[in-house]
Amino acid sequence: MITGVFRDASRPLAERVADLLSRMTREEKIGQLGQVRMSDYEKNRSAYLDGVRAGKWGSRILAETAWAGDGGASALKVEQLNEIQRVAVEESRLGIPILYGRDVIYGHRTVFPIPHSYAASFNPDLVQRALSAVAAEASSEGVHWTFSPMLDLVRDPRWGRVIESPGEDPYLSSRMAVAAVRGFQGEQFGGDKSLLACAKHFAGYGGAEGGRDYDTTEWTDNTLHNMILPPFRAAAKAGVASMMAGFNDLGGTPVSSSRALMRDWLKGELDWNGFIVSDWGSIFDLIGHGVAGDERAATLRAFTAGIDMEMIAGFYERNIGALIDSGEMPATWLDDAVSRILLAKFRAGLFEHPCTDPSRAATTLRHPDHVALAVELATQSMVLLKNKNNSLPLAPTLKKFAVLGPYAEARREHLGSWCLDGRPNEVTSILDGLRTAAPEKEFITANAAFSDACVDVARQAECVILCVGESHLRNGENKSIAELALPPGQEQLIAALGGLGLSLIVVDCSGRYLPSPAAEAHASAILHAGCLGTEAGTAIARVLLGHAYPSGKLPMTIPRSTGQIPLYYNRKTVGKTVTFVDRYRGYEEQLLTPLYRFGYGLGYTTFTLANQQLSAATMSADGAVTLRATLTNTGARAGAEVVQFYICDPVASTSRPGRELKGFQRVELAPGASRVVTFKITAAELEFYGARFHWEVEPGEFRLGLGFDSAAPLPLTLTVMAS
């Protein structure tokens, strides 16, 4: 094995990368750009190991299909991964370790809520701690790199991958981006309990037309910079190790061939030093998009755009050498791409610790601290949408409950559609969670396949807890729906049980936020639980019984019907709505307003905000002022409220949203207690990408205020003075 500066962990990373790069042949460099599956490893073991010895590949993806989360992933085998790694380190010419990547999206053996659910917690610190636990578990089984967080801004809940997104708001998504990067990677790279993170899908994939996965997207330059790119910019600033190029065409240029976005903006303007990986076959897809006639042309377009590593197809391996020889791409691009990948491997500590101790997993997986974190995050991720006559928490006087519906005893479904390593037998069902939390009460159930049996059992109870929702097979990648509705039959079941005259509690475990006309009409309370992971039943029982309080807030608007899509809170102002303020309706047959607005969520107590005031009424563009108010728990129970800070820029060089979230704080208070909340306002809260095609704070008046959802009043005025 060759020795040199790159072997010395005390030397600066830039020196180690440069030294190793100088020793590599062109074939070894190209090898670092390829990621392979190594399918049927035992059958093809000899050929794979020969390829590793020759330095043919830099990474292995630990998945069998593009839809691994729905059952296409083989179990991790640490000894197999170590065998491959030992060959790479000890038997290849330079001993460069293999980077193992896997879709560890929101859990490993301990499965946490899906991102669309955990975003509702409005608690980035807790999310960071949770994903740190996820990283510890996955790394204990040999994983180095996760393809998460997904930062696609979403406005169409028909799209199946909405479940992976933090929602419709760029500020909330940016906060969750930073939490995820720091959670997976740690405050610093390296260590045996961290993973390299990968922000995806860069960029705009969440706008797939019609909610159809992989479809074209049409974001304007203004929307792209103000709404779509900020979470990726936040991830880059937080030091995310990698980003993944999306499948989508964006205004005529497939993102996987967009030099303007990747090589120029991300690597150039932001000066980000991570590496970009293609999505599964997205370079091959350039042929399908019609911008490349064959794999050679697709390779040229993707590599020119700035994709450093190719997932799966092998186009780079077969074509980059010839493209350099022909002069169609400079050799310096190859060196840049390889340097970025090597830097990530050095940061991950793979040269010092290439193999995984097989004994680590036994003391890491399902660690009690991880389970406790999963319960805490699941509890805070639920959103209480309706609570008529304080039906929740369940009254202590009630003794007999009917727990019904498809999710009453479900297990696998709580894990969501992007879970490779969670085990259904380790999931706590809702029925089991209730029986464990309240053994003194009686919980009866019926076979969910027979609605008549459910109705009969419900008649025997004092209260009905109906657990509905989509299965993990109805959302996720390539799982879009045309109509926003619960799966067939569930609306009818809600209506049938609602006609019994009993208190009806609807617990919705859908990954999406779906409108339910029957629940609105018949339910006493609606609790959106979402996909909460292995501890779902425990967390749901705690909230229903009042052992914990709900505090989640909607990260996405819930429309009244499919026809309202797209419907999101931070819409731009529309001229005619001002001109015809008394006549504009939006729709003839339906209200224009949403069923539930962004940021909305009830609790078991009440809060008030008083004395909103600014420290100054004016500020310079580079100055700062403070917004403060007093939050008081005016109810009889302890609770948590998310104080949300919104602004409006009513006159600007381009049209602007009617309101934008620019800050939030989750505050827990005992009954009668108060706390002063403060928000610092600087250029970061007021700037936008405007008519001059760059970010700036324009002078003028801004309206702002605090509240508990996106309908918060904006009573204050701040004047920004010209520089």
Buried b (16+ CB within 10 A) or exposed e, 186-195: beebbeebbb
Closest CA relative to residue 401, chosen from 467, 484, 311? 467
Per-residue tokens: 174? 């940016």
Residue 384 main-chain phi, psi, to 5 deg: -85, 110
| 98 DSSP assignment | P
Q: Which residue has the tokens 């939030």?
A: 664
Tell me how far apart the alpha carbons of residues 441 and 439 are, in angstroms, rounded to a whole number: 5
Could you tell me the CA-to-CA distances from 344 to 138, 189, 206, 639 in Å, in that order?
18, 9, 27, 43
Count other C-beta atoms under 10 Å from residue 666's C-beta: 17
DSSP for 136-184, please give it.
HHHHTTT--EE---B------TTSGGGGGS--S-HHHHHHHHHHHHHHH
Tell me how far apart the alpha carbons of residues 142 and 80 are, in angstroms, rounded to a whole number: 10
Which residue in 103, 169, 279, 432 is the catalytic one?
279
Contact 37, 76 (CB under 8 A): no
Angle among Cα 117, 122, 123 to the nearest 5 degrees reads: 105
Tell me how far apart the alpha carbons of residues 215 and 160 are, in angstroms, rounded to a whole number: 12
Catalytic residue status for 279: yes
Q: Which residue has the tokens 């303020």?
A: 581
Q: Which residue has the tokens 């319960």?
A: 375
Angle of helix 331-347 relative to helix 13-23, nearest 10 degrees, comes to 130
DSSP for 333-382, please give it.
HHHHHHHHHHHHHHHTTTTT--S--TTHHHHHTT-HHHHHHHHHHHHHH-
Count other C-beta atoms under 10 Å from residue 225's C-beta: 19
Rg from Cα positions in the chain: 26
Tell me how far apart the alpha carbons of residues 359 and 381 are, in angstroms, rounded to a whole number: 33
Per-residue tokens: 362? 């036994």
Could you tell me the CA-to-CA distances from 112 to 202, 375, 597 in Å, in that order?
24, 8, 25
Buried b (16+ CB within 10 A) or exposed e, 299-336: bbbbbbbbbbbbbbbbbbbebbeebbeeeebeeebbbb
Count other C-beta atoms under 10 Å from residue 388's C-beta: 12
With 0-12 CB in 10 A as exposed, 13-18 as middle and 19+ as buried, what is 384?
buried
Tell me how far apart the alpha carbons of residues 10 and 4 are, in angstroms, rounded to a whole number: 12
Strands of the sheet with 198-202, listed across from one edge:
198-202, 242-245, 275-277
Contact 658, 573 (CB under 8 A): yes
Could you tell me the CA-to-CA distances from 174 to 10, 21, 111, 244, 412 in Å, in that order?
34, 34, 23, 17, 30
Tell me how far apart the alpha carbons of residues 675 and 632 are, in angstroms, rounded to a whole number: 7
Closest CA relative to residue 569, chosen from 589, 555, 553? 555
Catalytic residues: 279
